[in-house]
Amino acid sequence: MLEISYMSGFGNEFSSEDPRCPGSLPEGQNNPQVCPYGLYAEQLSGSAFTCPRPANKRSWLYRIIPSVKHKPFTPEPCGNLTENWNEVEPDPNQLRWLPFTIPKSTEKKVDFVAGLHTICGAGDAKSRNGIGIHIYTCNTSMVDRCFNNSDGDFLIGEEKGSIRPIFHTEHPIFYFTITEIVLLFFFQQGMRFSVDVFGETRGYILEVYGAHFELPDLGPIGANGLANPRDFLCPVAWYEDRQVATGYTVINKYQGKLFACQQDFSPFNVVAWHGNYTPYKYNLKTFMVINCVAFDHADPSIFTVLTAKSTRPGVAIADFVIFPPRWGVADHTFRPPYYHRNCMSEFMGLIKGHYEAKEEGFQPGGASLHSMMTPHGPDADCFEKNSSAELKPERVAEGTMAFMFESSYSMAVTKWGLETCQKLDKSYYQCWEPLRSHFNPNWKPSKNLNLCLLPIL
């Protein structure tokens, strides 16, 4: 296997050149009249030229053939990938999906692009305002095919794969290592990539139009905590100089539709590059968890890995939130998540293990959606067990990784999500049916109750 090394740091200014071509990065300028080794200079811009410097994103790529050389794009079948949020009537119910089916390779070969399925979303790629949530289920590698998203950023989390996938990019290759069990891949708008898989593979995608993901502000937490910038990795340059006589297909997601064009060379021909507009991988095991150490709950925003901010301060287009293994030590507290009605939409998935608030029914490879102001919370078994549990320090979510895509948009579910996939759990509401009244009008506070509160002077 090719040895690939990485540079660390979220949003850093990187520079890299393939060691096979030393000196391939131009010195002192971006666009010389003649680039070293006869390369072409090409800028990839992820922001308007006049954005404030902290928000300005671009990289310069020095490549063997520029990406402009291709045949015209033509429409490509979209399958179950859509931006039509009016296919079916709105559904305000609590929704839960059983694990989504992965096609058998013996029946049909399905690669990453063919295996994209949209579950829900809101907004519009044309106006650069909105999100889409997708599942991918595939069983074969992309051969002489790559994908790029002109509509927005793709945040990809893999849930199932016998051997972890390999992502080929222009920056160039992401490999898993044996210790990287739960990984997040992050491809920003316009970045081309191809996916090699080994067996049946499934995962989740959060797509954001019009804003880029960034690390959340830490406020009173201080300088350290949550997802640390140094743990985001970007690969060093490595080029592929390969002619493809049979044709190489570039698939472009544009205004919610797919288009394909042909070229006769591999797009992964970048010999050197520099800039701050890059893809990343991130190992969720490196997330530094913050939690309550006295009583009650801190809000789940303390588990935010990445956020895509809206123009309203403190309100996100989308947050990516995880619920990793941690200690639970709160006194006099119902420790699982509380019952809730939220002005945000909450889409949850499970990468592995058992989610603490619903140990049955919510399975890896499945999902749930609690829409704007739809009530949700622990099922009846969880409530009864934890209302009388001994409150001693305990490990929470050991061996588990659940996540949430939270959005300020009211998301519509697609026809595929509600009907075609045939994975909607129509019995989901029944997990709350056994909840019963514990109200006692003659209740008196216990003399032994100690809330550890300051005395009233």
* Separation in Å, CA 394 to CA 222, 325, 329, 334, 335: 26, 10, 7, 13, 11
Q: Which of 264, 284, 304 is the last residue of a domain?
A: 284
In a domain, 60, yes or no: yes
End-to-end Cα separation, the chain, in angstroms: 69
Q: Does residue 188 share a domain with residue 123?
A: yes
């990065």: which residue's tokens?
25
In a domain, 1, yes or no: no
Q: Which of 236, 262, 284 is the last residue of a domain?
A: 284
In a domain, 434, yes or no: no
Give me the pLDDT at residue 276, please: 96
Q: Does residue 397 share a domain with residue 291?
A: yes
Q: Does residue 210 share a domain with residue 304?
A: no
Residue 224 contacts by C-beta under 8 Å, 6 or more apart in sequence? 218, 288
Q: Does residue 321 share a domain with residue 381?
A: yes
pLDDT in tens, the chain (457 residues): 456 789 999 999 999 999 999 999 999 999 999 999 999 999 999 999 999 999 999 999 999 999 999 999 999 999 999 999 999 999 999 999 999 999 998 899 999 999 999 999 999 999 999 999 999 999 999 999 999 999 999 999 988 875 456 778 887 676 655 445 467 888 999 999 999 998 899 999 999 998 999 999 999 999 999 999 999 999 899 999 999 999 999 999 999 999 999 999 999 999 999 999 999 999 999 999 999 999 999 999 999 999 999 999 999 999 999 999 999 999 999 999 999 999 999 999 999 998 876 767 789 999 999 999 999 999 999 999 999 999 999 999 999 999 999 999 999 999 999 999 999 999 999 999 999 999 999 999 876 655 544 444 4
CA distance 226 to 205: 21
Q: Does residue 406 share a domain with residue 383?
A: yes
Q: Does residue 316 share a domain with residue 251?
A: no
355 is in an annotated binding site: yes
In a domain, 445, yes or no: no
Exposure string over 244-264, b if 16+ CB within 10 A, otherwise e? eeeebbbbbbeebbbbbbbbe
Q: Does residue 274 share a domain with residue 351?
A: no
User: Of all residues in the chain, what percent are helix, strand and coil, respectively (each to 5)?
Assistant: 10, 40, 55
Q: Does residue 292 share a domain with residue 230?
A: no
Q: What is the DSSP letter of 296?
A: S
Q: Which of 237, 263, 284 is the last residue of a domain?
A: 284
376 is in an annotated binding site: yes
Give me the pLDDT at residue 364, please: 93
In a domain, 450, yes or no: no
Q: What is the DSSP letter of 335?
A: -
CB 148 within 8 Å of CB 192? yes
Q: Does residue 138 share a domain with residue 225?
A: yes
Residue-number span of the structural domain to which 351 is assigned: 287-425
Residue 315 contacts by C-beta under 8 Å, 6 or more apart in sequence? 309, 408
Give me the pLDDT at residue 171, please: 77
Domains identified in the chain, total number:
2
In a domain, 441, yes or no: no
Give me the pLDDT at residue 311, please: 92
Q: What is the DSSP letter of 387?
A: H
Q: In CATH, what number is assigned to the domain containing residue 379? A: 2.60.120.10
Nearest one of 5, 335, 406, 353 to 174, comparing CA atoms: 5
Catalytic residue, from 274, 297, 354, 370: name it: 297
Q: Does residue 317 share a domain with residue 280?
A: no
Catalytic, 297? Answer yes
Q: What is the pTM of this model?
A: 0.93
